[in-house]
Amino acid sequence: MKIAVAGLGLIGGSIALTLRKNGFADYFYGIEENAEHAKRALELGIVDEVVTLEEGVKSSDLVIIAVPVDATVKLVISSLDYTDRQIIMDVGSTKASVANAVKNHPKRRRFVATHPIWGTEFSGPDAAREGEMTGRLTVICDPENSDPDALKLVEDLYNSLGMNTVHQDSGSHDLHAAYVSHISHLTSFALALAVLDKEKEEEQIFRLAGAGFQSTVRLAKSNPDTWVPIFKDNRSNILDVLNDQIFFLRQMKKLIEMEEYETLHKLLSDANAIKKIIK
């Protein structure tokens, strides 16, 4: 099988490396606007050659769109324009915008919308890792809108990566992603900004930062080129989540100001219920 990967960064590169290792495909085309990323992806063996989008689509069996979400819609539509028998899939963190954009495309059923829920705070081809998606979850959205053979190939791909798959509609996906993924990154960015604003001595931050701070602020290392488009695309859901979080932060602030520590204790105990869900 021949696969074209558009976007040779963390997600696209990791998928390609793993699929090459497990033998799912034997030839990989790279589609990448960043010349340095393209060169590095070739050096790392992520892809065998770098081609244009049209060449990649027409030469492959499957096209994986792994670019920031603000570029995804355009590439998916262009890929569908070029496709004949080929299958197109994306791996973006938001789904409703692409679903709406392609719903009336004559080749819509050759497209499968997906979101593998895995990543790190790093980006670019050097961030790609083989085999690290094992045991993670992938959401396949609106599967009823894809041809059975397209859906099966994509499910087989994720099975070969060792990932578990669930089906969900695009709107529900974006709502839940805002609550359990996107808000975590916003919170991390905000905490990093607060600490950098107040603590001017970098050495003190390094010395005193415990594991809790480091794990919470880790996501603030993430690439803004990836995350600003996500926040923009999922704006309404993210604003709802932010309002909820700000409400609880204000509650905690008021309880500390009023020295109502018993009530604060109860609030924190209520938050401990998350232990029943995430162990």
Residue 229: both structure tokens together: 């488009």
Outline which parts of the chain fall under CATH 1.10.3660.10.
173-276
Specify the pLDDT at position 274. Answer: 82
Q: Which residues contact 108 (CB under 8 A, 6 or more apart)?
A: 80, 102, 145
Q: Which CATH class is domain 173-276?
A: mainly alpha
Q: Which CATH class is domain 2-169?
A: alpha beta
Mean pLDDT of 210-233: 84
What percent of the chain is modeled with pLDDT above 90?
Answer: 84
Residue 268: both structure tokens together: 């924190």
pLDDT at residue 208 above 80?
Answer: no
Specify the pLDDT at position 202. Answer: 61
Decide if 5 contacts 31 (C-beta within 8 A). yes
Outline which parts of the chain fall under CATH 3.40.50.720.
2-169
Specify the pLDDT at position 199. Answer: 67
Mean pLDDT of 172-179: 94
Query: What does pLDDT average to over the chain?
Result: 93
Question: Cα–chain-centroid distance for residue 185?
Answer: 11
